[in-house]
Structure formats: C-alpha cells, structure tokens
C-alpha cells in the first residue's frame, strides 16, 4: 500500500477500458468509487470491481459507493430494492425508538448483502449532518433527523450494520453540512454560525462517531473558524476542529474535487486539499484529463496518512452469519408499521 497514491478515482463506464487500466496501473490510486454510470447488471459490476483491483495489483483495494437509500442510491430497482431515506428511518425512530434503531441497522446490513458480493467494500454513509432552517435541500431527507440525538443514534446503527456485513462506513460530511445554504455541487456555501453554536449542534454526531475509520469532508466555509477556505481546504478546520475538537483520527477524504464549490484548476484544488491535511483526494466523474491533473500533484501515501490507510484495511472483518431473507422480511414489517 505504501506505493499507492493518495487518491480515489472513478472510471467512465460499466467496463474498464484498456487505457483506463493503464492509467490506473501507472497512477496507483488507493481506491475506486462507483456511480450509476458504472452499473448495468450485478455480474457486470462484479467484473468491473475485479478489473479495477487488477489494474493496481491489489486484490483488497477499497471500492466505494454512495448507497444511502432515498434519493442517493446508485444501485436501483430492479437490481436492488428501493430503500427508504434517512428521514424515513428518523420518523420511525421518533415513533418507536427501538424499531427505528433496528430498521436502520438492518438497512445497512441489507446494503452489505447487496454490495459486498460484488466487490464493493465501502459505503459512503452515514450522513451525520444536522439540517438547520435555511439549509439547502441537498441534505434534506438524507438526514436522519433535525436533532443531534437522532442523528447520533441512527448514524451509529447504520455504521454498525455495514460493519456487520463486512463493509466499512464513511461518516459525512465532516464537520457538518446541515447549515449550508447552497448545493456544493454548484457553488460554495458560507455558514456564519458561531463556533460555539456549531459545537453545540453540528459537530456532535461526528464526535459520537469519531472512532470510525473514514470520513468525508464538507465543501463549506465556516466563517467563524476560517472565513477564507472551505473545510476541505482549511488547515485550521482540519487541525482545530476535525482532528482536534471532534477527535477524528481516521482517514479523511475530500468530498468530490470536481464539485463547483472548489475553485482553481484540478491540480490547484488537489494541492490545497492535501495541504490542508486531508489524507486522500476523491475524484468521481471518470474524466481522464481531470484525473491526470489530480494525479500530477498527488504523492504516495506516507506518514500519518499511510498509517490511517493501513488502519482502514485492518478494520475490515468477515460478514456475520445474518439470515438475509429473515432480515428483509423483518425490515419490510418494521417500515410497514411506520
């Protein structure tokens, strides 16, 4: 792994092209991420994940996906069921605490039944953002609730369900996206709340799950902490808040470097992400020219980042012996009762 570069890449389509395989063999990304454009059938995805790993010569290279349920679900029917949103689980929790916790754990365990056999080993959930009035709907129903208590409880259950299924979670979007008044895919939001208010609400779920192996940053400016840079490229936010106050010492990846919340060319963006203290840059869209620019300034994993990447690999465990059919039946009953 010490020869892997500090980057996660996507590929363009449902099959790995020869030129993409050559590029990955040369640039040696630490991991890969899949999107809807990469999914045609279950067998095809299994072949693709095998090809991605073969390109870098690492049979355990992490393969990530965003499979939350609700409107962020890369695998869709008929390949897998349509799963509820985080808000749906939160509503069940408010009506029946035990049922909400159980349903959230089961849903993550079902994600693992869907994904793990295909070679997908990391699911980018739970969403630990706590929405606030005025926040953009880019989080919206993806959130488990509007209080830190609900988000903490269901975020922990979701993470545990993935780990029981042999996968690892990614807590996102650290240190909190819930107050952002814009969609970071399109523009850079500025949050003017005081650090004290952020500590009392937004940071709480991330503190509660700070022991998880991976986190994804927020492309959000917190003006009371660093008025000039979004968290992803802010050394102050990474050092003082994410590593300091929140206490997260796992692998910190950027949110997608292609998002328009970030400025500058791709080499500039990547350099800023790594200089701020993120361990790994995430580039999702499979665009070759963009990936070449990212790779041109990306070093090999070393130092604390290499240690954290090794900790991730050591955190995987074999799936438990849960009965898939029984869990699906139980989940349907829990959600129907809500």
Measured CA to CA, the distance from residue 61 to residue 78 in angstroms comes to 28
| Annotated active-site residue in 129, 255, 256, 279 | 255
- CA of 175: how far to CAs of 45, 183, 219, in Å? 32, 16, 10
Contact between 231 and 218 under an 8 Å Cβ cutoff? The reply is: yes
331 token code pair: 């989940």
Catalytic residue among 60, 185, 224, 265: 185
Active site residue 129: no
Whether residue 185 lies in the annotated active site: yes
Measure CA of the first residue to CA of the last residue in the chain; give whole Å. Answer: 46
Q: Which helix (H) or strand (E) element contains residue 84? A: none
- How far is Cα 293 from Cα 290, in angstroms, rounded to an integer? 5
Burial class (CB in 10 A: 0-12, 13-18, 19+), 127: buried
- The catalytic residue positions are 185, 255
């Amino acid at each position: 792994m010490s020869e892997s570069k500090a980057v996660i890449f996507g590929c363009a389509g449902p099959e790995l092209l020869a030129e993409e395989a050559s590029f990955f063999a040369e640039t040696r990304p630490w991991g890969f991420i899949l999107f809807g454009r990469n999914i045609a059938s279950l067998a095809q995805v299994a072949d693709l994940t095998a090809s991605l790993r073969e390109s870098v010569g690492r049979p355990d290279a992490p393969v990530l996906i965003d499979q939350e349920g609700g409107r962020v679900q890369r695998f869709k029917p008929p390949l897998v069921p349509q799963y509820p949103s985080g808000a749906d689980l939160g509503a069940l929790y408010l009506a029946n605490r035990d049922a909400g916790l159980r349903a959230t754990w089961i849903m993550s365990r079902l994600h693992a039944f869907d994904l793990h056999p295909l070679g997908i080993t990391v699911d980018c959930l739970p969403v630990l953002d706590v929405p606030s009035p005025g926040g953009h709907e880019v989080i919206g129903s993806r959130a488990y609730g509007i209080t830190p208590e609900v988000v903490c409880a269901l975020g922990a259950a979701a993470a545990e369900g993935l780990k029981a299924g042999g996968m690892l979670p990614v807590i996102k979007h650290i240190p909190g996206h819930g107050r952002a008044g814009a969609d970071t895919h399109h523009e850079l939001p500025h949050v003017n709340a005081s650090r004290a208010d952020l500590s009392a609400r937004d940071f709480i779920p991330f503190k509660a799950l700070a022991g998880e192996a991976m986190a994804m940053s927020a492309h959000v400016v917190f003006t009371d902490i660093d008025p000039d840079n979004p968290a992803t490229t802010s050394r102050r936010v990474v050092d003082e808040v994410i590593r300091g106050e929140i206490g997260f010492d796992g692998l910190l990846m950027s949110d997608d470097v292609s998002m328009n919340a970030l400025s500058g060319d791709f080499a500039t963006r990547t350099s800023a992400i790594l200089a701020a203290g993120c361990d790994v840059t995430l580039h999702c869209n499979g665009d070759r020219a963009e990936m070449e620019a990212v790779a041109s300034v990306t070093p090999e994993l070393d130092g604390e980042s290499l240690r954290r990447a090794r900790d991730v690999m050591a955190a995987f465990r074999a799936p438990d012996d849960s009965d898939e059919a029984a869990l699906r039946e139980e989940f349907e009953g829990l959600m129907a009762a809500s």
